[in-house]
Amino acid sequence: MKLIIQIPCLNEEATLPATIRDLPREVPGFSSVEFLVIDDGSTDRTVSVAKKSGADHVLSLGSRRGLAFAFQRGMEHCLALGADVVVNTDADNQYCARDIPRLVAPIVAGQVDLVVGCRPILGHPEFSFLKKILQVVGSWALRLLSQTNVRDAASGFRAYTREACMRIFLYSRFSHCMETLIQAGNSGMRVGSVDVQINAQTRPSRLFRSIPEYVLRSAATILNMFLLYRPLELFLSLSILLFACAGALALRFIYLIYFLNTPEVGRTHLPSLILMATLSILGGLTAALGLIGLLIRNQRRLLEETLFLLRKNKQA
């Protein structure tokens, strides 16, 4: 059994040595443990520092492609290197490397395909109250969308089986955390979680510059995931809302004309009827979009399964 610990990096020459130094070279259940650094177009000495610090493999992407792209390419490279299990961690050393044996233990026991290391969100000393609330709400939304029970959906400290790596196909460029969890839950993978500890913050997050930017990008990602994985539910909900508004206008018109029976001179309520008809048409079109989205989702699943089989045959 080979374990590869991958570290996506972008200008991490200051924090990378400590991150690699803390990683374990021996993990129960594995005969070998190797380190892979994915360089996402760094302009500093990240590559040379990674080699000097003990990284077994360095994958340079050549230009900045984004965290999700670097994560995906790292997964593919780990498969090519013969990894049986892949652990992903951050280059800023925020996750405690001593928790890696605990992280991979459920996979070694054959219980799950993907394990998420859950941070103590509410007890996180460096998270503001607002960020804690946003993390809790965001994780709840991801649990609903992914049909999993992971408490910390934003955690990038994860372990994947070889087959799970083959089934990951990312569409987002922002981050891999949400989409991999949603994809795992919707493809029938066994997903588990373990509690992990965190180290002191070494630098601010580079995924976003402020809380509003984080909220907007996260909301956009969740909406995009709904469009990709739950199009029928999303558009059908909008369709029901539109039909409900049209129905309310119809009831109002009937009440004014037939029950109140006090028509005003020159008033025909024609605008309300036009709005009701417009909302009804929009409701029907939205429902049709949901059906089209469902067909596209099913086609995408067939393509993903085909790509998975191609990857599996290639690695066999």
pLDDT, one tens digit for every residue, the chain (316 residues):
999 999 999 889 999 999 999 999 999 999 999 999 999 989 989 999 999 999 999 999 988 888 888 999 999 999 999 999 999 999 988 899 999 999 999 999 999 999 999 887 776 666 667 777 777 777 787 777 777 888 888 888 999 999 999 988 887 776 788 888 888 887 788 999 999 988 877 666 666 666 777 777 777 777 887 888 888 988 999 999 999 999 999 888 888 777 766 555 455 667 888 899 999 999 999 999 999 999 998 888 888 888 888 888 877 6
* Residue recorded with tokens 């605008």: 271
Q: How far, in Å, CA of 279 to CA of 174, rounded?
A: 35
Compute the radius of gyration of the chain from its Cα atoms. 25
* Residue recorded with tokens 């509690």: 195
**Paired tokens of 66:** 């984004």
Task: Output the pLDDT for position 263.
Answer: 55
Closest CA to 92 of 200, 209, 195, 5: 200
Q: How far, in Å, CA of 171 to CA of 179, rounded?
A: 8
Rounded to 5°, the CA angle 262-264-269 comes to: 100
Burial class (CB in 10 A: 0-12, 13-18, 19+), 37: buried
Q: How many helices (H) and strands (E) does the chain have?
A: 10, 7
**Which residues, in sequence order, are CB contacts of 274 under 8 Å at separation 6+?**
none
End-to-end CA distance of the chain: 15
- What number of residues does the chain have? 316
Task: Output the pLDDT for position 260.
Answer: 65
Whether the model pTM is above 0.85: no
Count CB atoms within 10 A of the CB of residue 63: 7
What is 196-264 written as a DSSP string? Answer: --BPPP-S--SS-SSHHHHHHHHHHHHHHHHHHH-HHHHHHHHHHHHHHHHHHHHHHHHIIIIII--PP
42 torsion bin: left (phi>0), alpha (psi -120 to 50), beta (else) = beta
Task: Output the pLDDT for position 16.
Answer: 93
Q: Which 8-state DSSP code applies to residue 95?
A: B
CA atoms within a 13 Å half-sphere pointing along the CA-CB vector of 285: 6
Q: How far, in Å, CA of 271 to CA of 252, rounded?
A: 12
- Taking CB atoms within 8 Å and a gap of at least 24, the contacts of 214-217 are 214/134, 215/134, 217/174
3-state secondary structure of 21: helix
Closest CA to 37 of 53, 21, 50, 22: 50
